[in-house]
Amino acid sequence: MAKSRANPRLAKIHRSYTVEEIAALYGVHRNTVRQWIKVGLPVVDQRRPVLVLGSALAEYLRIRRTVNKRPCQPGEIYCLRCREPRVPAGTYVRYHPITPTQGNLVGICPCCNTGLFRRVSAANLGQFDGLLHITLTPAEEHIGKSAQPSVNSDFTQDTPDHAKAPP
C-alpha cells in the first residue's frame, strides 16, 4: 500500500471512532492506528473497544502533519536526501523552463552532492536576486516547432531485397 498523508478533515469532530473505523476512514492498517495511540493519540478511556474522539483525532493528525514541515527560505532548496532546506553549493543554480510561466531551479547540495530541485514561477525569479546566482537555460524546442524535426527510426531509404515484392 502506498504511503499517504492522513487528511485531518476527514474525521467528524462530534463523533467517536473505533480503531477499525479509523483504519477504514484513512485506508491504513489497524496496527498503524494502534501505533498512533501508543505515541500520543488520546483515547476516551482505557476500556474496550478503544474509542477516539473525532476532534482529538483531527487535532492529532494536524499536529503530526505540521511537525514534519520544513519550509524553505527564498535562497534555499529542499534536499530530499538530507531532509533539510539547503543553500545550493556556491549559491549557483540553473533555471530550466518547463512551460512559459514555470520552471525548475536546479542546484547541488553542499553536504551530500545530490541534485536540488525547486519548482518556481518565472515571475517569482526576482525574489532570488542577490541570494542565488541563476543561469538561465533556453527551453528545448518541441519537435513540431523545430526547423528540421528529427525522426528516430531504423528505416532506410533503400528497401532490403527480401522486402521487395516479386515481379
Burial of 29 (0-12, 13-18, 19+ CB in 10 A): exposed
Q: Looking at the structure, tell me whether residues 51 and 99 fall in a common domain.
A: no
Total count of domains within the chain = 2
pLDDT at 82: 86
Tell me, what CATH number does 30's domain have?
Answer: 1.10.10.10
Q: Looking at the structure, tell me whether residues 89 and 56 fall in a common domain.
A: no
Residue 22 lies in a domain: yes
Q: Looking at the structure, tell me whether residues 37 and 84 fall in a common domain.
A: no
pLDDT at 67: 81
pLDDT digits (tens, 9 = 90+) for 114-137: 988 888 888 888 888 888 888 887
C-alpha cell at 150: 528529427
Q: Looking at the structure, tell me whether residues 21 and 54 fall in a common domain.
A: yes
Q: Looking at the structure, tell me whether residues 110 and 92 fall in a common domain.
A: yes
Tell me how far apart the alpha carbons of residues 136 and 122 are, in angstroms, rounded to a whole number: 11
pLDDT at 159: 56
Tell me how far apart the alpha carbons of residues 25 and 42 are, in angstroms, rounded to a whole number: 18
121 has which bridge partners?
A: 102
Range of the domain at 124: 77-136
Out of 39, 67, 95, a domain closes at 67
For 93-148, the DSSP string reads EEEEESSSSEEEEEEE-TTT--EEEEEEEGGGGGGGTTT-EEEE-PPPPPTTTSSS
pLDDT at 1: 41
pLDDT at 128: 83
pLDDT at 80: 83
Out of 67, 99, 116, a domain closes at 67
Question: Taking a C-beta distance cutoff of 8 angstroms, is the pair 94, 105 a contact?
Answer: yes
With cell 528505416, the residue in question is 155
Low-confidence ranges of the chain (pLDDT < 70): 1-4, 139-167
